[in-house]
Amino acid sequence: MPDIDIKKVTVWIQEVAASHSRSVGNLNYLFVGDEEILDANRRFVNHDYFTDIITFDYSRGDRIAGDVMISIDTVASNAVKYEVPFLRELLRVIIHGVLHLCGINDKGPGEREIMEANENAALELWDKSPKTE
């Protein structure tokens, strides 16, 4: 794991959620390897393939909550594939889970583009946020 500014990430998540008229409740991140996320995909979402993230949504009303499982292995390989720094790809995936909890999907027609636009907007917000440590 990279040296990540947890306070900045926390504030950033709250700001992104607020921009979607949501507040943040209990949100847990679990960083795992590819084998663990493959097992979770098989057990919980009936997918037999690797993913970078699985989001378990426990939100109620406008308060987001959930467990977010992220494969560090897949994040690392995607960073190489897309030629972006590992931390940038990790931030994209972290906020991807938050956006799912805010109600943004990425599986239907046109939804992937909407998700990407929201990820990019969130990353721009990250870039403008001051370091908190």
CATH code of the domain covering residue 71: 3.40.390.30
Assigned domain for 61 exists: yes
Q: What is the pLDDT of residue 3?
A: 78
Q: What is the pLDDT of residue 1?
A: 65
Assigned domain for 76 exists: yes
pLDDT in tens, 22-49: 999 999 999 999 999 998 988 988 788 7
Total count of domains within the chain: 1
Q: What is the pLDDT of residue 129?
A: 84
Residue 92 three-state SS: helix
Assigned domain for 3 exists: no
Residues in the chain, pLDDT under 50: none
- Taking each helix axis as running N to C, give the angle between helix 72-81 and helix 86-101, from 0 to 180 degrees, rounded to the nearest 10: 120
Judge whether 37 and 27 are in contact, CB under 8 Å. Answer: no
Helix (H) or strand (E) holding 113: helix 111-128
Q: What is the pLDDT of residue 132?
A: 67
- Residue 9 neighbours by CB distance under 10 Å: 18
Assigned domain for 53 exists: yes
Assigned domain for 14 exists: no
Assigned domain for 36 exists: yes
Assigned domain for 69 exists: yes
Which residues span the domain enclosing 112?
A: 19-128
Q: What is the pLDDT of residue 130?
A: 78
* Sign of torsion over alpha carbons 3, 8, 19, 57: positive
